[in-house]
Structure 1
Amino acid sequence: MLSLHSISKDYRTGAFGGATMTAVRDVSFDVGVGEVVSLIGESGSGKSTIGRMILRLASVTRGKVTFDGADISAYRGPALKEYYRDVQGVFQDPFSCYNPVFRADRVFAMIKEEYFPRVPREEWAEKIEAAVEAVRLNPGEVLGKYPHQLSGGQLQRLLIARALLLDIKLLVADEITSMLDASTRIDVLNLLADLKARGLGVLFITHDLSLGNYVSERTIVLRRGSIVEMGPTNLVFGNPLHPYTIKLLDSVPRLHEKWDVDAERPAEPAWAVEPLVEAEPGHFVAGYAA
């Protein structure tokens, strides 16, 4: 479905744009139908930049992104509009996606104007109610409310409901749980699992390893814009082989242990751009040597 082919992203820096910073370097992976892929990395690793390139919010400097075999960089006008019928994004801060002077469900009206102008009002109302119920919300409790009257979790799920109205194939979920409390977070993750069962592909962008482990079949670990480890989630988490992945896993707090301030912390591993090597079937590690 979605394929990234050695994509890179450069930004001009300096007072006159004379220098170049590479935010994403030679990244390749796929997201299939009904598959959840976690893209994990610390802040500044380039994971959100990858999401923006998939959503055509940022251009690709080198390489290409294809969807159902077609290069999305060639899409313009109606073709790009049709692409957004299949691919949508939900972002970290749900409050920034709503105009506070309008009711929250205005996001549904905008979808109708662009994609379903001929659908009768009664039929559209039924579609909205079905989409809202699909994200585990009560239409009577959320429709007609202003953004400040709803919680972050409710607003986030309304954005997912908006995507469902388009019957999308791929959802780019960029840190969608980072501003939610623990109880609401698990509701959103379980919702993603339900959507996956219906055939929706999800790119789950996060810095939280435990969430990635919970929700995804495959995991990609990003370090300074490059993939350092990639494979089935059970292998990446159960048998981490790259020093950076090992460091990340060692840094995860454990509920059954107290923090020991005197304990030796994992050293920062040396970093260099290295080719991915298949360490075991489907498990790729940068610079791996058996």
Structure 2
Amino acid sequence: MSSRDLLIRGRGITKVFGYGAAKTTAVDTVDFDFHKGEIISIVGESGSGKTTLAKIIMGLLKESGGSIDYKGQPRVLRRHADRKKYWKDIQAIFQDPFSSFNLFQRVEKLLLSCIRLQGLKLTKDEQFNKMKEACSFVNLKFEELYNKYPFELSGGQMQRLMIARIFMLHPKVLIADEPTSMVDACSRSTILDMLLKLRDENEMTIIFITHDVGLAYYVSDTIYIMEKGQIVERGPAEDIILNPQHAYTRQLISDVPKIHTAWDLG
């Protein structure tokens, strides 16, 4: 990919929690380059620092050191207005969909908040049609859901509703933190297909945060392997999975023998 497509660039990103003897370095001098329309997977076991890095990229955590450029300019998130503008472009789907919504707001209000975030001035009919279209994209019927609370929906319905929000917001970047870990295999495949369709339609950059090497191999253009807060290997998905250079990468892949089997049979 050319430098013209570069969307988010990080250099020396570090995050330290605590002080003195209790100090923990969760992210340790990490560099990354994410391009327009690229699908990236940041892969590592629990505690590797990948979710902390995702929250820094999202702007939910402030880095202790390093710098992030967005669209070729230093990212500035000092004021609420700065963060609001940034979050128009960068959205996230998290592992537990119920933690991402106000459980005391009905579905209609949750989706209306997307319209307000965009600053759109729509009639009630236009609002209804926009929400209906978003639900239809994820195979939900708005007429059956609009008056329900999140706790009245299944986990699969909630994940689809999160994707409906992304459909409405058209972000330039989506951070998907273990987005399929709490749903069954059928729903997992459907959710991935929906996200890839959004990427194709909107040239959206997707950053998957996952422990699942098989998922990373299946969906990614580029894979970053993260261990103990550091990126230990990075590169095109096929290179990383079929010719791993780092011992930690080889260990992760050895836990997923199907990758080798599928390649050998192909």
TM > 0.5 fold call: yes
Q: Does 2:197 correspond to 1:194?
A: yes
Which residue of 125, 129, 146 maps to 1:126? Answer: 129
Q: Which consecutive unaligned segments of at least 5 residues does structure 1 have?
A: 258-290
Structure 2 Cα separation of the partners of residues 209 and 144 of structure 1: 39
SS at structure 1 position matched to 2:83: helix
Structure 2 Cα separation of the partners of residues 48 and 167 of structure 1: 23
Partner of 1:43: 46
Structure 2 Cα separation of the partners of residues 117 and 197 of structure 1: 24
Partner of 1:281: none
Which residue of 157, 160, 163 maps to 2:160? Answer: 157
Kept in 2: contact 1:177–1:185 (CA 8 A): yes
Q: Does 2:170 correspond to 1:173?
A: no
Aligned counterparts, 1:124-273, within 5 A: 124-198=127-201, 199-252=203-256, 254=258
Which residue of 56, 62, 65 maps to 2:65? Answer: 62
Q: Which moved more, 1:189-198 or 1:111-120?
A: 111-120
Q: 1:147 to 1:19 in 2, by over 3 A?
A: closer
Q: 1:255 to 1:21 in 2, by over 3 A?
A: closer
Of structures 1 and 2, the one scoring higher in RCO (CA 8 A, sep 6+) is: 2
Kept in 2: contact 1:175–1:204 (CA 8 A): yes
SS at structure 2 position matched to 1:118: coil
Partner of 1:5: 11
Structure 2 Cα separation of the partners of residues 12 and 34 of structure 1: 36
Higher Rg: 1
Q: Which consecutive unaligned segments of at least 5 residues does structure 2 have?
A: 1-6, 262-266
Q: Which moved more, 1:37-46 or 1:147-156?
A: 147-156
Aligned counterparts, 1:21-32, within 5 A: 21-32=24-35
TM-superposed deviation, 1:211:
1.0
TM-superposed deviation, 1:136:
3.5
Structure 1 Cα separation of the partners of residues 139 and 38 of structure 2: 21
TM-superposed deviation, 1:68:
0.7
SS at structure 1 position matched to 2:121: coil
Kept in 2: contact 1:31–1:202 (CA 8 A): no
Structure 2 Cα separation of the partners of residues 108 and 91 of structure 1: 17
TM-score under structure 2 length normalisation: 0.88
Q: 1:24 to 1:99 in 2, by over 3 A?
A: same
Structure 2 Cα separation of the partners of residues 124 and 203 of structure 1: 29
TM-score under structure 1 length normalisation: 0.81
Partner of 1:260: none
Deviation string 1:205-234 (CA, Å, 9 cap, x unpaired) is 001111111111111100001011100001
Q: 1:256 to 1:238 in 2, by over 3 A?
A: closer
Structure 1 Cα separation of the partners of residues 243 and 145 of structure 2: 44
Deviation string 1:161-202 (CA, Å, 9 cap, x unpaired) is 212322210001111111111110111111121111120110
TM-superposed deviation, 1:117:
5.9
Structure 2 Cα separation of the partners of residues 70 and 136 of structure 1: 38
SS at structure 1 position matched to 2:18: strand
Partner of 2:36: 33
Kept in 2: contact 1:98–1:104 (CA 8 A): no
Kept in 2: contact 1:4–1:65 (CA 8 A): yes
TM-superposed deviation, 1:126:
1.4
Structure 2 Cα separation of the partners of residues 19 and 100 of structure 1: 35
Partner of 1:282: none
Structure 2 Cα separation of the partners of residues 256 and 3 of structure 1: 32
Q: 1:73 to 1:46 in 2, by over 3 A?
A: farther
Q: Name the count of aligned residue pairs.
A: 254
Report the structure, 1 or 2, having the larger helix content. Answer: 2
